[in-house]
Amino acid sequence: MKHTVEGTDSNFSQEVLKSNVPVLVDFWAPWCGPCRMVAPIVDEIAQEFQGKLKVVKLNTDENQEVAIKYGIRSIPTIGIFNNGQVVDGIIGAVPKHMLVSKITPFIHEAS
């Protein structure tokens, strides 16, 4: 079962900015090695925090409008959105515990 949402330029506002739960956005591209390292971690987080956190994966090669709007220059970049605003983020491949520690404060606020 898929726990992540495919983000696009056209659905970003609906899926991320208007979400009623915090959103972790994985900005990635198919050619990016570190992105492939982060992908299984992002999937695990999506499964573990299901219902409390939405996880959106946005391919920056195919959806440049959103990537440009949020100044994504390095990938992978993990953006954390809450109430339609960027509240935190991490650039680069990081261990799972670092991602969890970044999103936990917002999950507690939402629950």
Could you say which of 5, 16, 25, 32 is catalytic?
32
Residue 32 designated active-site:
yes
Could you say which of 24, 35, 46, 75 is catalytic?
35
| The CA-based dihedral angle spanning residues 82, 25, 96, 77, taken in that order and rounded to the nearest 10 degrees | -110
Residue 35 designated active-site:
yes
What is the three-class DSSP state of 84? coil
Q: Give which of 78, 71, 73, 56 is closest to 11, Cα–Cα.
A: 56
Catalytic annotation, residues: 32, 35
